[in-house]
Amino acid sequence: MKLICGLGNPGREYERHRHNIGFMVVDALLARARAELTQDKFQARVGQGTLGGERILFVEPQTFMNLSGRSVAEAARFYKVAVQDVLVIHDELDLPFARLQLKAGGGAGGHNGLKSLVSSLGEDAFIRVRVGIGKPEGPNAKERVAGYVLSNFDDGERRQLEELISRAADMAESWVRDGLTTAMNRHNRKA
């Protein structure tokens, strides 16, 4: 079994925010797996399905971003999923909008959801689908980051969003079916 987690914040007011791209990609994967998030446990919405011939536990933490790791770590321990079999889909400020990267391990880079995951899992070896959302530019850009990630995509980005979500889901599905190295070779070059 593998665990696929999308990072985001619970609640309708956050639904279409940049910070919730992880939830959006998991929702696309659920449709592909003909699965639903039918349970509320581990402080998360959880469901199971099959993707690429593999049993998948889908997790959307409901703890808010900064505590996401608790849900993922609890679910992984309960189902005995190794950290290397955990895939986390998250927004990435350090990639331009619509750029994707699949990678194993690495630091948190200031992302509070990733910090929580590393802390709760006890290591950073989980797999990541980094979904580029770009970052604010100009004076005081650093001070504007929180407002930026907690805002909706602009009109131009929204026109590309469905394709971006589909490509990120392809990347995750390829990881399940083909393994990390093959999926990275196939998708990171295209990104």
Any binding-site annotation on 14? yes
Residue 17 falls in the annotated catalytic set: no
Structure token pair of residue 149: 């990630």
Main-chain phi, psi angles of 56, to 5 degrees? -125, 135
Any binding-site annotation on 42? no
Any binding-site annotation on 66? yes
Amino acid symbol at 175: W
Cα–Cα distance between 5 and 10 in angstroms, integer?
14
- Asked whether the beta carbons of 101 and 94 are under 8 A apart, the reply is no
Q: Which residues neighbour 94 within 8 Å (Cβ) at sequence distance 6 or greater?
A: 109, 132, 135
- Asked whether the beta carbons of 8 and 14 are under 8 A apart, the reply is yes
Q: Which residues neighbour 189 within 8 Å (Cβ) at sequence distance 6 or greater?
A: none
Closest CA to 191 of 91, 98, 93: 98
Any binding-site annotation on 148? no
Sheet of strand 44-51, all strands in order from the earlier edge strand to the far edge = 39-41, 44-51, 54-61, 2-6, 86-92, 127-132, 100-104
List residues with catalytic annotation. Answer: 19
Which residue positions form the known binding site for tRNA? 14, 64, 66, 112
Which residue positions form the known binding site? 14, 64, 66, 112
